[in-house]
Structure 1
Amino acid sequence: MAGADADRPTREISGVKKKVVKKETGLGLANRKAENFGEWYSELVVRADMIDYYEISGCYILLPWAMSIWKVMQDFFDAEITKMKVEACYFPIFVPDYFLQKEKDHIEGFAPEVAWVTKAGGTDLEAPIAIRPTSETVMYPYYSKKIRGHRDLPKKFNQWSNVVRWEFSNPMPFIRSREFLWQEGHSAFATKEEADVEVLEILELYRRIYEEYLAVPVIKGKKSELEKFAGGLYTTSVEAFVPNTGRGIQGATSHCLGQNFAKMFEITFEDEKGEKAMVWQNSWAYSTRTIGVMVMVHGDDKGLVLPPKVASIQVIVIPVPYKDADSQGIFDACYATVNTLCEAGIRAKSDSRNNYSPGWKYSHWELKGVPLRIEIGPLDLANKQVRAVRRDKVEKIDIPRDDLVNQVKDMLHSIQQNLFNVAKQKRDACIQVVHTWDEFVEALSQRKMILAPWCDEEAVELEVKARTKGEIGAAKTLCSPFDQPELPGGTKCFASSKPAKKWTYWGRSY
């Protein structure tokens, strides 16, 4: 409403006042996303109370502001896989050495990262015990024992757990850490056709987590033979992209393991004809890496920008009393606003602390990424309205109290959609289609996500890695998208000039 700013001296001189507030509050980030992305990210996840550092390098304390996001995704995913008849379970974190050695190809992919327990107190263990980097070798001896006939199939288990992968280079909160949280599903079927169906069903759930909850666009596709899960038949993934760094990031994976693990762990069953057969298996997982991807894609120089669907506080209500205003009336209006929103299923909270100024509170909740801020001052009280301020863009609107719930719901929906749309526009602007090696090198130097025709040969992929190796990492295949553009006859591979078989995304990655 016109004239509503008359009672808001803290909002008046937006350009200059912003600098003054940051100086007074000390809440501004020291690093800028566009100038020093790595330092900006590391500073942000700490300042926004998502993590704290721990005494062991590469291990982090996940704080409630981050865990609440994980819980929202967990609740969604649990509900969906329950519809698919997946059962919850938990297997031990410790893995006997001889379990790991049963599957040589599989463990080779994890060998450098496996952490071992070698002592109990001051006594050396008779044999070292591994801490799980993943749970195929932990769970499949049980499958071998319990699966006997076709009526025991399908068997679908999922566990929410932690794993340890002793990364030695460039640990990064959420993205690459030595211990992280994840879900891992493990299924066994009588036929490959059943396994193939589940692989894609799970992958679609991962797409929904990223796009519908985290507002991060992803590409669904198949990994190359070189990049697939060690010991598996084929790997599908959802791939995200971080425009500021020009790096792709594997968001989640759904693997068809084929019968390789069934052979190693003797997981057989008697089929309907009374004949002995081996099961077909899948494994699938996503981790707390999802949170890091969200921060990288949406965060700005003020702090986090949380999509409403995953924000533990969707609306923060801040009283703006001053001078001789009816402070108690303003505080009462804030509490009533919170109650009204909460009763409507909106996650709202009032910041009524009297030892901080409204300006400090604005900066604090912007840093933490709360999607919508509601301010109530004397004129709002008199006019029976509230002022709403969006976190995702500079936009303020005065809302009549009698239409509060409807307009807030609409705004939260709009914020969620806008975050996805903006992220997709930025991601799409970074995709470069190339046909030749020279175009590929130029696009790579511009930090693009590259779509190129490829002959699908492992030797060529290795050569591309070797030719692009440098201080900031080599280029690699990200995935071959399921949504394949037309490939005209006679199209040649960008790297080998051999006949191209498919379009594949390439780039540097985390």
Structure 2
Amino acid sequence: MAGSEAEKPSTQQQEETGLGLTHRKAENFGEWYSEVVVNAELIEYYDISGCYILRPWSISTWEILQTFFDSQIKKMKVKNCYFPLFVNRGVLDHVEGFSPEVAWVTKSGKTVLENPIAIRPTSETVMYPYFSKWIRGHRDLPMKLNQWCSVVRWESNPMPFIRSCEFLWQEGHSAFATKEEADAEVLEILELYRCIYEEYLAVPVIKGKKSELEKFAGALYTTSVEAFIPNTGRGIQGATSHCLGQNFAKMFEINFENDKGEKAMVWQNSWAYSTRTIGVMVMVHGDDKGLVLPPKVASVQVIVIPVPYKGADTQGINDACSATVVTLCEAGIRAELDSRDDYLPGWKHSHWEMKGVPLRIEIGLKDLANKQVRAVRRDNGEKIDIANEDLVEELKKLLDDIQQNLFDVAKQKRDECVQVIHSWDEFVQALNQRKMILAPWCDEEEVEEDVKARTEGEMGAAKTLCSPFDQPELPEGTICFASGRPATKWTYWGRSY
């Protein structure tokens, strides 16, 4: 299993390669995470706090997710567009929830602007005045727009990918004639977000509905996919799909004439996921050797490394490595050759382990003679000798197995952290044990506020994560763990990022 004692880099390995991590995931998670994202070449720190340079190794993963999602929403007839990043103060006032995080442009050169301009934290108020202009009749509906862009939310306690002042995301905004159409799209988009996490990033998530206290400001309701980080005992919101109802339609007068000639207001949705996805992937799969990439999102799925020996047929080994890369690439496997002769094979092994490449192929003198390669899995360290004639078929199987194994291991670890409770004492005990808590709840906003107040401390307060769509049976007479009132649903609680 990833992160096992056998996989930890030894002190000798660190001295020989200079690549070993100095912090353990289980001992100092925050420092470990900071080391991994830099040493694996995902980011570089920038000279403005909370802003990070996303290096090619992270952007390549983002592009794979983007390609998948963009193709899927286009099947739903969503059109891509782009709106300016600047927002007038008067328009932004409609979304007060972002006020503490908004960055403002107050000067142009040396001239103080009469009206400061905000940099978008989200685009509802940027886009919807134009929805009002473009939507006139029922034939203009549905309107489904999406933009790939960055947004700025000035974070006081930044963390790469998880909470950064500027981050990449997609944001979809749609308008419908009926609530039924809007409701259907909310769930259709949420399923795509589940696919991103579970089928691409190999991270288990829970689909559910946010509480009234935790929903997006101005939304009728918010749905989300929620992940969990066992090492920290914190939930993390993976992506959100909001039904905005008619709230913004009222604000911006987005009206249309229906097929009966009557004036009506549109029903709206907004939905987004961001580069936070990459941070969640690192947290869930990374180990004490560095990053662990699921094959589906790895820009390099297989790294091929020649293992020369003194007096051996070095040219023959190099030729075999080059031919192997060509064969794999022609078969649709993303493979590269590390032909650098100024680094020893051991250094290369550590380097590509740090970067999380799913499979390493080694070819030495023995492999050349036996017409085989040695494959080494990044997820569990297993070594397999594969005949050249079976190489493509066997590597595809291995990559599929690594993808599934990463998900299975992550789900097992997540599930071991879930605790079902029924009373306040059980809740506090589970919270102190860093559990993801499933509890019967009365769904009262004042009760959630009370739970937050009663659990406030150094680690942060507990709050609702989501009420899962897949609801366990709630026996008649079940009471809320926090209020003693009749429970109406099961809800996940915990501390979160």
Which category of TM-score, normalised to the shorter sequence, fits these structures? over 0.9
Q: Is contact 1:223-1:236 (8 Å) kept?
A: yes
1:425 to 384, 409, 412: 412
2:37 to 38, 45, 52: 45
Deviation at 1:59, TM superposition (A): 0.4
Q: Is contact 1:449-1:506 (8 Å) kept?
A: yes
Structure 1 runs (4+) greater than 4 angstroms displaced = 14-19
1:131 to 105, 119, 127: 119
Paired position in structure 2 for 1:406: 393
Relative to structure 1, the CA distance from residue 452 to residue 17 in structure 2 (aligned partners, 3 Å threshold; closer, same or farther) is closer
Paired position in structure 1 for 2:150: 162
Paired position in structure 1 for 2:27: 35
Paired amino acid for 1:59: C
Paired position in structure 2 for 1:313: 300
Q: How does 1:182-261 map to 2 (within 5 A)?
A: 182-261=169-248
RMSD: 1.1
Paired amino acid for 2:140: D
In 2, Cα distance between the equivalents of 1:110 and 1:419?
A: 36
Paired amino acid for 2:373: V
Paired position in structure 1 for 2:443: 456
Q: Is contact 2:9-2:21 (8 Å) kept?
A: no
| Other structure's SS at 1:109 match | helix
Q: Is contact 2:9-2:289 (8 Å) kept?
A: no
Paired position in structure 2 for 1:143: 131
Paired position in structure 1 for 2:70: 78
Paired amino acid for 1:276: K
In 2, Cα distance between the equivalents of 1:360 and 1:115?
A: 44
In 2, Cα distance between the equivalents of 1:208 and 1:231?
A: 27
Alignment deviations for residues 272-294 of structure 1 (CA, whole Å, 9 cap, x no partner) = 00000000000000000000000
| Other structure's SS at 1:61 match | strand
Q: Does 1:117 align with 2:109?
A: no
Paired amino acid for 1:284: W
Alignment deviations for residues 99-134 of structure 1 (CA, whole Å, 9 cap, x no partner) = 112x2xxx2210000111110000011201010000
| Other structure's SS at 1:31 match | coil
| Other structure's SS at 2:62 match | helix
Deviation at 1:20, TM superposition (A): 2.9
| Other structure's SS at 1:226 match | coil
Paired position in structure 2 for 1:96: 88
Paired position in structure 2 for 1:442: 429
Relative to structure 1, the CA distance from residue 177 to residue 17 in structure 2 (aligned partners, 3 Å threshold; closer, same or farther) is closer
In 2, Cα distance between the equivalents of 1:114 and 1:283?
A: 19
Q: Does 1:64 align with 2:56?
A: yes
Alignment deviations for residues 161-189 of structure 1 (CA, whole Å, 9 cap, x no partner) = 00000111x21000001000000000000
In 1, Cα distance between the equivalents of 2:471 and 2:323?
A: 53
In 2, Cα distance between the equivalents of 1:21 and 1:130?
A: 50
1:324 to 311, 317, 330: 311
Number of aligned residue pairs: 492
Deviation at 1:316, TM superposition (A): 0.2
Paired position in structure 2 for 1:265: 252
In 2, Cα distance between the equivalents of 1:167 and 1:19?
A: 36
In 2, Cα distance between the equivalents of 1:98 and 1:504?
A: 37
Paired amino acid for 2:254: I
Relative to structure 1, the CA distance from residue 470 to residue 192 in structure 2 (aligned partners, 3 Å threshold; closer, same or farther) is same
Deviates more, 1:18-27 or 1:363-372: 18-27
Deviation at 1:15, TM superposition (A): 9.5
1:387 to 358, 371, 374: 374
Alignment deviations for residues 295-319 of structure 1 (CA, whole Å, 9 cap, x no partner) = 0000000000000000000000000
Q: Is contact 1:217-1:420 (8 Å) kept?
A: yes
In 1, Cα distance between the equivalents of 2:346 and 2:448?
A: 54
Identity of aligned residues (%): 79
In 2, Cα distance between the equivalents of 1:45 and 1:28?
A: 13
| Other structure's SS at 1:309 match | helix
Paired position in structure 2 for 1:5: none
Deviation at 1:18, TM superposition (A): 5.1
| Other structure's SS at 1:426 match | helix
Deviation at 1:471, TM superposition (A): 0.7
Paired amino acid for 1:233: L
In 2, Cα distance between the equivalents of 1:214 and 1:21?
A: 29
In 2, Cα distance between the equivalents of 1:58 and 1:97?
A: 24
| Other structure's SS at 2:241 match | strand
| Other structure's SS at 1:187 match | strand
Paired position in structure 1 for 2:3: none
In 2, Cα distance between the equivalents of 1:134 and 1:19?
A: 46
Paired position in structure 1 for 2:140: 152
In 2, Cα distance between the equivalents of 1:15 and 1:406?
A: 27
Deviation at 1:158, TM superposition (A): 0.3
Paired position in structure 1 for 2:46: 54
In 2, Cα distance between the equivalents of 1:16 and 1:420?
A: 21
Paired amino acid for 1:123: T
In 2, Cα distance between the equivalents of 1:220 and 1:413?
A: 24
In 1, Cα distance between the equivalents of 2:435 and 2:206?
A: 15
Q: Is contact 1:22-1:363 (8 Å) kept?
A: no
Alignment deviations for residues 196-253 of structure 1 (CA, whole Å, 9 cap, x no partner) = 0000000000000000000000000000000000011000000000000000000000
In 1, Cα distance between the equivalents of 2:402 and 2:16?
A: 29
TM-score, length basis structure 1: 0.96
Alignment deviations for residues 312-362 of structure 1 (CA, whole Å, 9 cap, x no partner) = 000000000011100000000000000000000000001010000000000
Q: Is contact 1:375-1:386 (8 Å) kept?
A: yes
In 2, Cα distance between the equivalents of 1:335 and 1:112?
A: 55
Paired amino acid for 2:195: R
Paired amino acid for 1:63: R
Paired position in structure 2 for 1:6: none
Relative to structure 1, the CA distance from residue 276 to residue 405 in structure 2 (aligned partners, 3 Å threshold; closer, same or farther) is same
Paired position in structure 1 for 2:466: 479
Relative to structure 1, the CA distance from residue 327 to residue 502 in structure 2 (aligned partners, 3 Å threshold; closer, same or farther) is same
Paired position in structure 2 for 1:4: none
